[in-house]
């Protein structure tokens, strides 16, 4: 039997432990998993591109577990009342190849993306960072803000979007979370007031939403927007000026902000976490976390919710693996389970 987690199951688990606790624990677990980077067999995600979006498979494994995620990115879906990103994932035992968990991963992807941004910000933002500007208030925005609040104690959030409905739902959803929300009409004027900038747009193609000339010393930028080849948000001059941190260089070169550069001078996140490389070196340094999402993050969140679901008794057991008395006699299932197969 395989444990199966539905959207409702995930919501019930989060409600049980609390969203803030979930972000704090998930950030800690991501730190632990990134610190053993060399234990994982890694590869860039397998992407199939279409005129209307992308469908990807994201596999990874260590000596104990194999995990993969199916995920899409279709920016025009909201025009049809559908989500831009949906995902499903699986966790399996390496020693037998047997699946342990099948789970929804649309919510889990939002959680792990936000927690990874919070983890990177611990190393790259100024230690006294308390304010941020988020550009793009779509499906990922609230998760990002609440993860950064939980981990860094962010208190003031400026928010900007060209979609009025997105602005309104963002403000409505974050009411009651003890965050000072300030609507922003001019990104350039607000930048000097914040410690962190988060970019979270989904539009494909090269869109310049942050210019190098606007930046002030000491900023940290989390570039989180949905990524693919040809999709960028930042002025390339920012990347040449800043310390740039990526998850997995081989993948980021194809899909991240750094695809705009001919030469890469980047640090991978695991190198900073393990102390091999240095994070922020001064209060005036400009830093960028060029995040595209990586399978290690999916591995971590799947394992976390698998363990929580067992502890809480939440989730279903589904019959997807045949049980036979003789492992060489698979055909016996037909003979014993349905009268039409009886002689």
Catalogue the active-site residues. Answer: 227
* Helices and strands (DSSP H and E) totals, the chain: 11, 17
Angle between helices 106-124 and 19-35 (to 10 degrees): 70
Q: Cα separation of 240 and 247, whole Å?
A: 18
Dmax over CA atoms of the chain, in Å, equals 81
Contact, 102 vs 287, CB < 8 A? no
Q: Cα separation of 214 and 209, whole Å?
A: 11
DSSP per-residue letters across 136-176: --STTHHHHHHHHHHHH---EEEEE-S-HHHHHHHHHHTTT
DSSP per-residue letters across 95-130: TT--EEEEEE-HHHHHHHHHHHHHHHHHHHS-TT--
């Amino acid at each position: 039997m395989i444990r199966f987690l539905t959207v409702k199951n995930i919501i019930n688990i989060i409600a049980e432990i609390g969203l803030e606790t979930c972000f704090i624990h998930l950030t800690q677990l991501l730190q632990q998993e990134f610190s053993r980077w060399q234990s994982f067999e890694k590869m860039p995600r397998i992407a199939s591109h279409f005129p209307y979006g992308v469908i990807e498979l994201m596999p990874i494994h260590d000596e104990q577990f194999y995990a993969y995620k199916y995920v899409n990115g279709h920016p025009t879906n909201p025009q049809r009342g559908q989500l831009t990103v949906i995902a499903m994932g699986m966790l399996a035992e390496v020693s037998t190849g047997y699946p342990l968990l099948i789970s929804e991963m649309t919510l889990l992807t939002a959680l792990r993306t936000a927690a990874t941004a919070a983890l990177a910000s611990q190393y790259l933002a100024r230690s006294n960072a308390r304010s941020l500007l988020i550009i793009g208030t779509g499906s990922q925005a609230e998760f990002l803000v609440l993860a950064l609040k939980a981990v860094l104690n962010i208190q003031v959030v400026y928010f900007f979007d060209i979609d009025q409905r997105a602005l309104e739902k963002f403000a409505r959803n974050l009411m009651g979370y003890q965050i000072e929300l300030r609507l922003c009409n001019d990104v350039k004027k607000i930048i000097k007031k914040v410690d962190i900038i988060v970019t979270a747009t989904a539009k494909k193609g090269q869109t310049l939403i942050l210019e190098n000339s606007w930046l002030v010393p000491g900023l940290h930028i989390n570039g989180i927007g949905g990524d693919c080849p040809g999709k960028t948000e930042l002025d390339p001059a920012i990347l040449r000026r800043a310390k740039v941190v990526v998850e997995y260089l081989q993948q980021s070169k194809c899909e991240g902000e750094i695809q705009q550069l001919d030469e890469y001078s980047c640090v991978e996140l695991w190198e900073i976490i393990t102390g091999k490389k240095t994070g922020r070196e001064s209060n005036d340094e400009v830093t960028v976390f060029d995040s595209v999402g990586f399978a290690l993050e999916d591995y971590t969140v799947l394992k976390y919710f698998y363990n929580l679901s067992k502890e809480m008794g939440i989730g279903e057991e589904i019959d997807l693996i045949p049980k036979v008395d003789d492992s060489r006699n698979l055909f016996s299932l037909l003979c014993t389970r349905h009268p039409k197969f009886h002689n």
